Chain A
Amino acid sequence: MPTFIIRRLLQSLLVMLVVSLIAFALFRFVGDPVHQMVGLETGIEERARIRWELGLNDPVIVQFARFAWNALHLSFGNSYQFKKPVIELITERFPATIELSVVSALLAITLGIPMGVYAAIHRSSWLSALFLILSLVGVSLPIFVLGILLILVFSVTLGWLPSFGRGDVVDLGYWATGLLTTSGLKAIVLPATTLALFQMALIVRLVRAEMSEILRSDYIKFARARGLRPATVYFGHALRNALLPVITITGLQFGSIIAFAIVTETVFQWPGMGLLFLKAVQNADIPIMSAYLLLVSLIFVSINFAVDMLYAAVDPRIRIDVRTG
C-alpha cells in the first residue's frame, strides 16, 4: 500500500508539473506580456525596462522556476482585462462555482443511483423505460440547450424562478454563500438542475449496466437459491459491488462538472470562475487562463488521487497495481 500511495503521488506531481509547464508556456510565449501591460504611447526604452523588471530576459528555466514559485504563493500576476490581481478575481468567484458544482453532484447522485437500481431490477417496467429515455436525453441534450429550455419554461413563461445571477449572498468571511438565503436557493435551482442532468444520466446508465451484469452472476443466483429476501440480495450484495465503479466514475466526473460549469454559468450568468475563464478565452487574457488551468488541474488531480485511494481501500486487488502496460 505505501508503494502504491507514493507511486500515485508521484504521478499526480508529474501531471501538475506538466500542467504548470503548459500554463507557463501560455503565460510566457503566447502573446507578449509587456505589450499587454503597457499603453500605446509607452516608448521602447520604457518597454525594455519593464521587460527587465519582469525578468523576461532571464534564462527560460529561471523564469519557469519563478513562475512556479509565484504560483505556489498564489501569485499569478494581473489580468489584462481587469488590471487587477488574478487571484483576487478568482477567489471572489470560487465559492459560486464550488457551490453550484457540489449541489449538482449531490442532485445527480441522489437521483441517479435509485433510478439506475430500479431500472436494473425491473427491466421491463414502464418506469424503467421512462428512466432510460430520460437518461438518453440527458446524455444527448447539450447542456446549454437544456438551460435555455428551462429558462424558457420556468422563468419566461411561468415566472417561478430567476434566470440569472446568484440571488442574495451571505458573507462568511472567506466564503460568500448563496445557500442561506431564499433568493439564493431559488437562483441555484435551474443552473444546478441543468448541470446535474448530464451527470445523473451517466450515473443511471452506469448503475443500471453494472447492476444488470452483477444480477446475472453466479453468487447472486446462489444468494437467491439460499432463499435470501430480494431486498437483501439487491442492496446487501448486488448494489454494494455495483457501487464500486460508480464511486470512481462519479468522483472523476466531479472534474467535468466544474468544467461544464463554464457552460452553465454562461447560460445563467452565474458569477463563478467558469464565466471568468470564458471571458478570458474570448479576450485572450492569458494570466487568468493559466491561473484557472492550474487551479482546476489541482482540483482534478486531487480528486483523482482521492478516488484512487478510496478505490484501493475498498478493493484490495488494486493495491498490487497490475499495470500490464
Chain B
Amino acid sequence: MSGQDDSLALPDGSRQIVLQSEPQLLGRELIYSFCHSGITIVSAIAVVSLILAAVLAPWIAPHDPFDLRQLNLLDSHAPPAWLKGGDARFLLGTDDQGRDILSAILYGLRLSLTIGALAAALAAFVGVILGLIAGYSRGKLDSFIMRVADVQLTFPAILIALLIDGTVRAINTEFIGEQRALWVLVLAISLSYWVQYARVVRVATIVEAQKDYVLAARLIGIRPPVILFTHVLPNVIGPAMVILTINLAFAIILEATLSFLGVGLPPTQPSLGTLIRVGNNFLFSGEWWMAVFPSIVLAALVVAVNVIGDWLRDALNPKLR
C-alpha cells in the first residue's frame, strides 16, 4: 500500500486529516456547528433514545423474552397489533416461539450496542497503543507494526472476522456457550478494525514527538512510557475519537452481519442480527414483521450513528472550515 500520504483513508473513501487546533476553540466551534445542523440533532436524539431503550430494556419491555414461563406457543406467529388477527398484548407481533417482537428487539438492541461498543473500544485501545509505540519508536518495531497493518488492510474486515470466528470454532469443537460467543464476536470485530486507529495515531505521534515539549521531557529523563501516555496521548487522541464514532457504526453492522450469517450470537440470546436471521425464515410465509422491525431499528441506529460521525468529521476537518 505505498503511494499513500499521511492522511488516513477511511473505509468510506474520505480522508481523515490529522487535526491540530486549540482545544477550547474547537469545543466552542463543535457546539456551534452541532446546534446548526438539524439532522445531527435529530440523530443525536435518536441515538440517545435507542441507548436509553437498550439500558432500560428490563424495565420497559412489556415481556421478558427469555423467561420461558411467559412464552406460550399459542401466542406464536401473531401479526402486529394493528393488523387483523393481532393481539393487543404484542404491539409488534410475535415470533415462531411466541416471543414478543418488541421486547426481543429491546433486549437485542442491548446486546448489539454492548458488543458494538466493546469491540469499538477494544479496537481503539489496541490501535492507539500500537500507533503510539510505532510512531514514537520508529525504526524496526514501527515497520513491523505498520507492515502487519498493511497486510491486514488488504483484507476486508468481514473476512477477517469470519476467519477468526471460524478458527475459534475449529479449536472449540464443543458447543460455544452464549457467554463465549459474545467475547468471540468482540475479539473478531475489534481485531478487524484496530488498523485505522494505529495509522492515524502513529502519524499524529510522529508529528508530536518532534515538538519541543517531548524533546524537553526526554532531556530531563522522563521514561518513554510516561512521555507517551501522559504527554503525547492527550494530544493525539482527538482524531482517534472521530474514528471511534464512525467505527461504532461499522462494529454494530459487522456484529449484525455475523449474527445474521449464523456465526454470531445464538437464537437463545438474540442480537438484532440474530432476530433478522430468524425472521428471514418466515419472510416467504408472509410473516414479514419478524424480520422487518428489527431491521428498521438496526438501520435507524446505524444511520444515526453515521450522521453523527459525518458531522464530527466535517466539523473537525480544517479544509472544510
Residues of A within 8 A of B (CB): 7-8, 11, 14-15, 18-19, 26, 30-31, 136-137, 139-145, 148-149, 151-152, 156, 163, 202-203, 205-206, 209, 213, 245, 249, 255-256, 259-260, 262-263, 266-267, 277-278, 280-282, 284, 286, 289, 293, 296-297, 300-301, 304, 308, 311-312, 318, 321, 323-325
When distances are taken between beta carbons in the complex, the residues of chain B under 8 Å from A142 are: 253, 256-257, 260, 273, 298-299, 302
A18 to chain B, nearest CB (A): 5
B204 to chain A, nearest CB (A): 13
In the bound complex, how far is the Cα of B148 from the Cα of A15, in angstroms?
9
Closest to A257 in B: B156
Pairs of residues from A and B, 6 with the lowest C-beta to C-beta distance, nearest first: A206-B13, A281-B166, A284-B170, A259-B156, A256-B156, A140-B303
Q: List 14 A-B contacts (CB under 8 A).
A: A11-B150, A15-B154, A19-B151, A31-B171, A137-B303, A144-B260, A202-B11, A206-B13, A256-B156, A266-B261, A286-B170, A321-B2, A325-B142, A325-B146
CB-based contact A278/B154 at 8 Å: no
CB-based contact A30/B2 at 8 Å: no
Known: A30-B170, A206-B13, A325-B146. A263 touches B299 (CB 8 A): no
Instruction: Assess whether B60 is interfacial by the CB under 8 Å rule.
Output: no
In the bound complex, how far is the Cα of B158 from the Cα of A152, in angstroms?
25
Instruction: Assess whether B162 is interfacial by the CB under 8 Å rule.
Output: yes
Q: Interface centre among B14, B173, B276, B306, by most A CB within 10 Å?
A: B14
In the bound complex, how far is the Cα of B117 from the Cα of A102, in angstroms?
34
CB-based contact A301/B154 at 8 Å: yes
B307 to chain A, nearest CB (A): 7
Instruction: Assess whether B25 is interfacial by the CB under 8 Å rule.
Output: no
Chain A binder among B69-77, B222-230, B278-286: B278-286
In the bound complex, how far is the Cα of B169 from the Cα of A286, in angstroms?
10
Chain A binder among B81-89, B103-111, B236-244, B288-296: B288-296
Closest to B14 in A: A209
A316 to chain B, nearest CB (A): 12
In the bound complex, how far is the Cα of B76 from the Cα of A281, in angstroms?
32
Contacts A260-B158, A278-B262 aside, 11 further interface pairs with beta carbons under 8 A come to A140-B253, A141-B303, A144-B261, A249-B9, A249-B13, A255-B154, A260-B156, A266-B260, A280-B166, A304-B1, A325-B202
Known: A141-B302, A297-B155. A308 touches B2 (CB 8 A): yes
Give the interface SS of chain A, mostly helix, strand, loop or mixed: helix
Q: Interface centre among B12, B171, B292, by most A CB within 10 Å?
A: B12
CB-based contact A262/B261 at 8 Å: yes
When distances are taken between beta carbons in the complex, the residues of chain A under 8 Å from B295 are: 145, 148-149
When distances are taken between beta carbons in the complex, the residues of chain B under 8 Å from A262 are: 158-159, 162, 261
A256 to chain B, nearest CB (A): 4
Contact of A139 among B6, B159, B286, B306 (CB under 8 A): B306
* Interface magnitude class on chain B: 35 or more
Closest to B279 in A: A148
Contact of B169 among A11, A145, A213, A281 (CB under 8 A): A281
When distances are taken between beta carbons in the complex, the residues of chain B under 8 Å from A31 are: 170-171, 173
In the bound complex, how far is the Cα of B169 from the Cα of A8, in angstroms?
35
CB-based contact A311/B3 at 8 Å: yes
In the bound complex, how far is the Cα of B319 from the Cα of A188, in angstroms?
42
CB-based contact A259/B159 at 8 Å: yes
CB-based contact A282/B13 at 8 Å: no
CB-based contact A318/B3 at 8 Å: yes
In the bound complex, how far is the Cα of B264 from the Cα of A282, in angstroms?
10
Instruction: Assess whether B33 is interfacial by the CB under 8 Å rule.
Output: no
CB-based contact B151/A277 at 8 Å: no
A311 to chain B, nearest CB (A): 6
When distances are taken between beta carbons in the complex, the residues of chain B under 8 Å from A144 are: 256-257, 260-261, 276
Instruction: Assess whether B189 is interfacial by the CB under 8 Å rule.
Output: no
Instruction: Assess whether B123 is interfacial by the CB under 8 Å rule.
Output: no
When distances are taken between beta carbons in the complex, the residues of chain A under 8 Å from B37 are: none
Contact of A300 among B147, B155, B260 (CB under 8 A): B155
A24 to chain B, nearest CB (A): 13
CB-based contact B261/A263 at 8 Å: yes
When distances are taken between beta carbons in the complex, the residues of chain B under 8 Å from A163 are: 284
In the bound complex, how far is the Cα of B142 from the Cα of A152, in angstroms?
50
Instruction: Assess whether B95 is interfacial by the CB under 8 Å rule.
Output: no
When distances are taken between beta carbons in the complex, the residues of chain A under 8 Å from B100 are: none
Q: Interface centre among B150, B155, B256, B307, by most A CB within 10 Å?
A: B155
Known: A281-B263, A282-B262, A300-B154. A293 touches B2 (CB 8 A): no
When distances are taken between beta carbons in the complex, the residues of chain B under 8 Å from A289 are: 163, 166
Contact of A263 among B163, B166, B257 (CB under 8 A): B257
Contact of A7 among B2, B14, B151, B158 (CB under 8 A): B2
Instruction: Assess whether B167 is interfacial by the CB under 8 Å rule.
Output: yes
Closest to A301 in B: B154
B282 to chain A, nearest CB (A): 11
CB-based contact A308/B3 at 8 Å: yes
Q: Which of B132-162 touch A at CB < 8 Å?
A: 142-143, 146-147, 150-151, 154-156, 158-159, 162
In the bound complex, how far is the Cα of B286 from the Cα of A49, in angstroms?
56
Known: A139-B306, A281-B165. A11 touches B13 (CB 8 A): no
In the bound complex, how far is the Cα of B2 from the Cα of A209, in angstroms?
22
Q: Interface centre among A142, A297, A304, by most B CB within 10 Å?
A: A142
B298 to chain A, nearest CB (A): 6
When distances are taken between beta carbons in the complex, the residues of chain B under 8 Å from A311 are: 3
In the bound complex, how far is the Cα of B12 from the Cα of A203, in angstroms?
8
In the bound complex, how far is the Cα of B303 from the Cα of A312, in angstroms?
36
Known: A206-B12, A245-B13, A300-B155. A140 touches B170 (CB 8 A): no
B195 to chain A, nearest CB (A): 14
